[in-house]
């Protein structure tokens, strides 16, 4: 059975085509600058990488090009081989599971655009484009927020007027849920039990942590939007909200402009004033850049605070997992974070910590907690959710 995972952005379209019998990627692709001049795509399959410039004025054309290339490149013989399509949806409001896409679901996703204005409208474009080209193929919406809907009310209600929650949906929703769910599932396979208390650290350009017990999310660091939580590449994470009106007055900005700066010009970039990529931060640290050193210290501290918080909330943990681009590939970041967790009895094997980009147990000799680096696979998780529903 062949399942396709699709992630549509405002000017992009990513896909992975899986053979679900072996849970292997047959092909993957990235269509960029959709609706803009100079649009092009890259498709990887069979060890080859094909890149071509092609005019794609909208997502419908991008999907048509994608499906055409799957056939002309010999990846599939006909479109009838595609048994289902899973769409990544950033915000699903209170949907707590993936669903078959119907007209009602499409309208719901549209209505949640206020919560994810850069993402949900783009996802709709991807859904409608696939629906036009493959009208008889079942499609599934896989929500990034769904995994976190198991949080108890005391963990998702903010200490603000309760009417804001009742009237406007102001509450914690979280993000990266598909990744956190995949890691939780994979860890239970590795440790051969579902009876686990785990902290997952999804660290990349965007960062989120989650507290998971027996496969159920109890808490997560991102909030009403993905701006909350730990320091990130360009996002501030948690800050005193009084900063917003203060800076508005000082800089002559409106609220939207200040929030935009908190999203796009803060975090590592804001403190270092140069770098949003953690690799650049580390390089600058080696050269003695004091602001890069400061940015790293703040980043590590924010992550450690959440780990400590969730450790107490879970009343101890069985495992700490690092995932996503930074978590999987930055030995120095993992070292800096875990070196502050000795009070919790957590340590890593420094030699094993040098291994990057692959699944590895990092647990130190005297560590009371298992420590792992596990590459996330959101695309496979989307495909698995899709498979389960269409069956």
CATH code for position 211: 3.30.420.40
60 and 200, same domain (yes or no) = no
Alpha-carbon span 135 to 101, nearest angstrom:
12
Distance of CA 333 to the CA centre of its chain: 19
138 and 229, same domain (yes or no) = no
226 and 373, same domain (yes or no) = yes
Please say if the pLDDT value at position 151 is more than 90.
yes
Beta strands in 81-238 (DSSP E): 82-89, 99-100, 139-143, 197-203, 207-213, 216-220
Ordered alpha helix ranges (H), 139-176: 153-156, 162-168
Report the percent of the chain where pLDDT is more than 90. Answer: 89
Beta strands in the chain (DSSP E): 2-9, 12-19, 24-32, 40-45, 48-53, 82-89, 99-100, 139-143, 197-203, 207-213, 216-220, 319-323, 360-361, 370-373
Last residue of a domain, one of 108, 125, 143: 143
Q: Which of 108, 144, 219, 336 is catalytic?
A: 144
> Per DSSP, what are the bridge partners of residue 12?
9, 32
Residues 155-168: tens digit of each pLDDT: 999 999 999 999 99
144 noted as active-site residue: yes
232 and 296, same domain (yes or no) = yes
Structural domain that includes position 31: 2-143
Position 181 in a domain = no
Last residue of a domain, one of 79, 112, 143: 143
Token digits for 236? 């501030």
Count of domains observed in the chain: 2
pTM score of the predicted model: 0.92
On whether the CB atoms of residues 35 and 63 are closer than 8 A, the answer is: no
Residues 36-85: tens digit of each pLDDT: 889 999 999 999 999 999 999 989 899 999 999 999 999 999 999 999 99
């Amino acid at each position: 059975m062949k399942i396709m995972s699709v992630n549509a952005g405002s000017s992009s379209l990513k896909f992975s085509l899986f053979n679900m019998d072996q849970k292997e990627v047959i092909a993957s692709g990235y269509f960029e600058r959709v609706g803009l001049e100079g649009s092009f795509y890259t498709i990887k399959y069979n060890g080859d990488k094909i890149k071509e410039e092609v005019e794609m004025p909208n997502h419908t054309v991008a999907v048509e090009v994608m499906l055409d290339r799957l056939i002309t490149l010999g990846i599939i013989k006909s479109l009838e081989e595609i048994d289902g399509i899973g769409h990544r949806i950033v915000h699903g409001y209170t949907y707590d599971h993936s669903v078959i896409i119907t007209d009602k679901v499409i309208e719901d996703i549209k209505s949640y655009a206020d919560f994810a204005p850069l993402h949900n409208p783009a996802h709709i474009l991807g859904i409608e484009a696939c629906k036009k080209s493959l009208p008889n193929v079942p499609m599934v919406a896989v929500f990034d927020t769904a995994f976190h809907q198991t949080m108890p009310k005391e963990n998702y209600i903010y200490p603000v007027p309760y009417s804001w929650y009742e009237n406007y949906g102001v509450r914690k929703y979280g993000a990266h849920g598909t990744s956190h769910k995949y890691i939780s599932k994979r860890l239970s396979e590795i440790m051969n039990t579902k009876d686990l208390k785990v902290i997952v650290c999804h660290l990349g350009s965007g960062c989120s942590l989650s507290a998971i017990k027996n496969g159920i999310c109890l808490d997560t660091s991102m909030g009403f939007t993905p701006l909350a939580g730990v320091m990130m590449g360009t996002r501030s994470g948690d800050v005193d909200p009084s900063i917003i009106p203060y800076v508005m007055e000082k800089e002559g900005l409106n609220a939207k402009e200040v929030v935009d700066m908190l999203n796009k010009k803060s975090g590592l970039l804001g403190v270092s004033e140069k770098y949003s990529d953690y690799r650049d931060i580390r390089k600058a640290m080696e050269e003695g850049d004091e602001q890069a050193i400061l940015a790293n210290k703040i980043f590590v501290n924010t992550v450690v605070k959440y780990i400590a918080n969730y450790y107490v909330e879970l009343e101890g943990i069985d495992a700490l997992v690092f995932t996503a681009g930074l978590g999987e590939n930055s030995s120095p970041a993992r070292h800096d974070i875990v070196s502050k967790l000795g009070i919790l009895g957590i340590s890593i094997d420094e030699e094993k910590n040098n291994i990057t980009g692959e699944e590895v147990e990092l647990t130190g000799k005297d560590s009371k907690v298992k420590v792992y680096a596990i590459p996330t696979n959101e695309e496979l998780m989307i495909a698995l959710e899709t498979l389960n529903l269409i069956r």
